[in-house]
Amino acid sequence: MVLVERANPTDRLDVERLIAAYLTSESVKPRPERITWAVEQVMKNRVGGVVLVAREKKAVVGVALAVYSPSAEEGRLLVLNDFFVDPLWRRKGVGRALATRLLEEAKAMRVERIDLEVTPTNANAAAFWKSMGFRTGGRTVYGRDIL
């Protein structure tokens, strides 16, 4: 039975390990110092947001990291930056449990909307988010590196 809760300081290494695995799965080379920094920003409340862990028999098998972003257009917005379930634990409801808790946390924060990005080839994530009631807004994300 999966248990989802806010990550506590002793979960740090597991959270960072799963986020590194997530980035690798997205063909992004993990940069450990950047992962540590991003996790710390949220867990130490330097930016608003939430880090959730999913536990199966005490092992951390899933993670979600979302940050709060005030939006003139969308109001109180939560942007989900990292979301990953250990491949050995997929299709057992872990992702659904994480996303359900994220929606509850968002409601408690009076967040009006959650946004996330799915890469064009990630059909599994697209099917998962559709099953959770998320829809594409028909927008294309543009980005540019500054440094």
Q: Which residues bind ligand COA (CB under 6 A)?
A: 22, 25, 83-85, 90-96, 116, 118, 122, 124-125, 127-128, 131
CB of 60 to ligand COA, least distance (A): 13
Specify the length of the chain in residues: 147
Tell whether the torsion through CA atoms of 85, 89, 95 and 98 is positive or negative: negative
Tokens linked to 20 = 């590194």
Q: How far is CA 53 from the centre of its chain?
A: 10
CB of 99 to ligand COA, least distance (A): 7
Which CB atom, from 29 or from 44, has the smaller least distance to ligand COA?
29
Which CB atom, from 9 or from 143, has the smaller least distance to ligand COA?
143
CB of 4 to ligand COA, least distance (A): 11
Q: Output the residue with the shortest Cβ distance to ligand COA.
A: 95
Tokens linked to 35 = 């992962």
The Cα 69–Cα 47 span in angstroms is 9
Give the helix ranges, DSSP H, for 44-122.
94-108
The Cα 17–Cα 145 span in angstroms is 25
CB of 127 to ligand COA, least distance (A): 3
CB of 58 to ligand COA, least distance (A): 18
Which CB atom, from 103 or from 116, has the smaller least distance to ligand COA?
116
Which CB atom, from 46 or from 100, has the smaller least distance to ligand COA?
100
Axis crossing angle, helix 12-25 with helix 32-43, rounded to the nearest 10: 130
Which CB atom, from 55 or from 96, has the smaller least distance to ligand COA?
96
